[in-house]
């Protein structure tokens, strides 16, 4: 004999004659939906001549317009050097040996820079210090950036 599994959502469904369960079976929607919103301008709704084909045209056009607008990126113009420094070659990184002592850590470090901007700090292997840089030393590159610095020229 096959056993048929019976699933239930609440303990009321296990009872054979439950008033709550019978009420839910007779009434599909527990709360009354607000129909008065649609009754206010019923004549204008019936007089509209938009058919399915026009509706799909509008939806397709608006979707395409949003897609095209999202693809357009901002144009960022670069400002070249008036007199380019000799040590800065665009695309090549420069390394500078330095040390850090902020009260918690002290390390001999190498600072990797691109076009004069520090981008990475790592342990200087040539120094006579043992151990590696910890997370605080590596994150100190963020303290080299000034949030009040100008992002571009004032024109």
Residue 152 belongs to some domain of the structure: no
Our count of domains for the chain comes to 1
Residue 84, SS3?
A: coil
Residue 17 belongs to some domain of the structure: no
| pTM, two decimal places | 0.44
Report the sign of the C-alpha dihedral through residues 135, 141, 147, 148, in that order: positive
Residue 149 belongs to some domain of the structure: no
- Cα 115 from Cα 93, distance rounded (Å): 8
* Number of CB atoms found within 10 A of residue 126's CB: 9
- Cα 77 from Cα 22, distance rounded (Å): 71
Residue 117 belongs to some domain of the structure: yes
Summarize pLDDT for 112-150 with one digit per residue, the tens. 998 888 999 988 887 776 667 888 888 888 888 877 777
């Amino acid at each position: 004999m096959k056993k048929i599994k019976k699933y239930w959502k609440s303990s009321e469904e296990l009872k054979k004659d439950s008033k709550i369960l019978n009420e839910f079976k007779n009434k599909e929607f527990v709360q009354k939906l607000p129909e008065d919103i649609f009754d206010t301008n019923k004549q204008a709704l019936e007089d509209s001549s938009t058919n399915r084909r026009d509706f799909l045209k509008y939806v397709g056009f608006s979707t395409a317009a949003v897609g095209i607008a999202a693809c357009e990126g901002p144009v960022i113009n670069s400002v070249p050097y008036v007199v380019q420094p000799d040590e800065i070659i665009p695309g090549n990184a420069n390394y500078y040996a330095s040390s850090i002592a902020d009260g918690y850590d002290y390390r001999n470090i190498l600072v990797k820079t691109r076009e004069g901007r520090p981008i990475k700090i790592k342990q200087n292997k040539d120094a006579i210090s043992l151990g590696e840089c910890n997370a605080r030393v590596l994150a100190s590159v963020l303290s080299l950036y000034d949030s009040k610095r100008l992002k571009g020229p004032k024109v």
